[in-house]
Amino acid sequence: MWISFATAVATITGIALAAGLLLGFISRRLPGHSEDLVEQVNELLPQTQCAQCGYPGCRPYAAAIVDDGAAINLCPPGGDETVRRLAALLDREPLPVAGSLSPASANNVAVIDESLCIGCSWCREACPVDAITGAHHFMHTVIASECTGCELCVARCPVDCIGMAAAR
């Protein structure tokens, strides 16, 4: 009886082990043509999904860099550091960050004029990095250390109470 029990356990364990090893082997060894490079570029981007580069998010931008030869200096949240790393990875010339905003804006943060805030929470939903805090119907504020200065919240505010200021 114990022998048949042991065989049953060993069989199930063996099947599971074989399946696991096979899957691990396949996912390691399968060649993934240009996909891997897109994945590597995507890793280097800051994942703020702020769309300041003109693409819908970080991964589409990574795909555009690899496949369409898009410029590598369009990412203001990543700053010069990201451009340097991308340049090293892709063997291209490092360029100063040239996003849709002025060069200095990479150091800006959003500031909510709290006396005007109506607590609509639209800015909180627009923020790609969760740098805006506040409950619905209550005053909202910006966590300056988290803000990347992407200005996505500015346009969303219905009472125009968000401005940009130099980071302290």
Q: Which residues bind other proteins (CB under 8 A)?
A: 4, 7-8, 11-12, 15-16, 19-20, 22-23, 26-27, 30, 32, 35
Closest of 103, 105, 113 to residue 151, by C-alpha:
105
Q: Report whether 128 contacts 50 (CB < 8 A).
A: yes
C-beta closer to other proteins: residue 22 or 165: 22
Give the closest residue to 144 by CA, choosing from 129, 159, 155: 129
State in angstroms the smallest separation of the CB of 41 from other proteins.
14
Tokens of 133: 């805090």
CB of 16 to other proteins, least distance (A): 6
Minimum gap (Å) between residue 135 Cβ and other proteins = 30
Residue type, 163: G
The sign one gets for the Cα dihedral 117, 151, 154, 102 is positive
Return the number of the residue (7 or 102) whose C-beta is nearest other proteins.
Answer: 7
Nearer to other proteins, 16 or 167 (CB): 16
- Integer Cα distance of 33 and 23 in angstroms: 19
Nearer to other proteins, 30 or 104 (CB): 30
Cβ of residue 146: shortest distance to other proteins, in angstroms?
A: 28
Alpha helix ranges (H) inside 30-151: 35-44, 58-67, 79-90, 122-126
Q: Which is nearer to other proteins, 41 or 162 (CB)?
A: 41
**What's the start-to-end Cα distance of the chain, in Å?**
75
Name the minimum Å distance from CB 52 to other proteins: 22
